[in-house]
Amino acid sequence: TPHSAPEYLDQDPANKYLTIPGYSHDGNGTVIFDQPSGMHGWTCGNMVANTRDVAQYMYALLVERSILDEETLRLMTDTRPISIGWGTGMLEYGAGLFIQQVQPKKRTTPVLGEWGTTLGHGGDTFGFVSDQGWIPQLNASWSYAGASDTPYWSFSLTCNMISALAKVILGNSTIDCSFKEILV
């Protein structure tokens, strides 16, 4: 299957690279589409790609191990708990990859191999959010992108996706994706 090359945003209008606008959770619902794309440069690697290609990349990187040499991959997956700032107590970060637990009632330092825990990298910028990575128990990779930066919905989406896949593939799921307490 041919892959499309990712685009890296620069100072062109964002709509040069995007097919739909994003919506910011800034209280005004600001539409993100024709602003200079450099405004997204502080996060997300400033990359735009289709989600199928990103999911295939994650599988090749983490399962097939066909993209990087073993030493580089070891550095990326050698994670440590984040101890300062955003993600403290919720993420283990390596060199470009992190382990996250998406079950809201288990928002503690994640352990790869527990249900609801993934290895990958999310993205969050003005008007957009994404999540991608590998689910060890299912030996599956995924990627999605959303046109809103509303807080918490990306964790909810990933959690519910893992729960649904576990039900279909394994016949059951013990994952609790209830975000009610967090959103109140």
Rounded CA separation 88/108 (Å): 9
Residue by residue, DSSP assigns 59-101 as HIIIII--SS-HHHHHHHH--EE--SSTTTTTEEE-SS-EEEE
- pLDDT, tens digit (0-9, with 9 covering 90-100), for 1-30: 445 677 776 777 878 878 888 888 877 888
Interval 79-93: pLDDT, tens? 999 888 877 877 899
d(CA 182, CA 184): 6
pLDDT at residue 45, rounded to an integer: 62
Name the pTM for this structure. 0.85
User: Could you give the CA distance from residue 27 to residue 34 in angstroms, rounded to a whole number?
Assistant: 19
CA 88 to chain centre: 17
- Flag residues of the chain having pLDDT under 70: 1-4, 9, 40-45, 107, 180-184
Q: Report whether 163 contacts 169 (CB < 8 A).
A: no
Backbone angles phi, psi at 155, to 5 degrees: -65, -40
Q: Name the residue type at position 176.
A: D
Dihedral sign, CA of 90, 56, 150, 36?
positive
| Cβ burial, residue 143 (10 Å; 0-12/13-18/19+) | buried
pLDDT of residue 42: 52
Write down the pLDDT at residue 74.
96
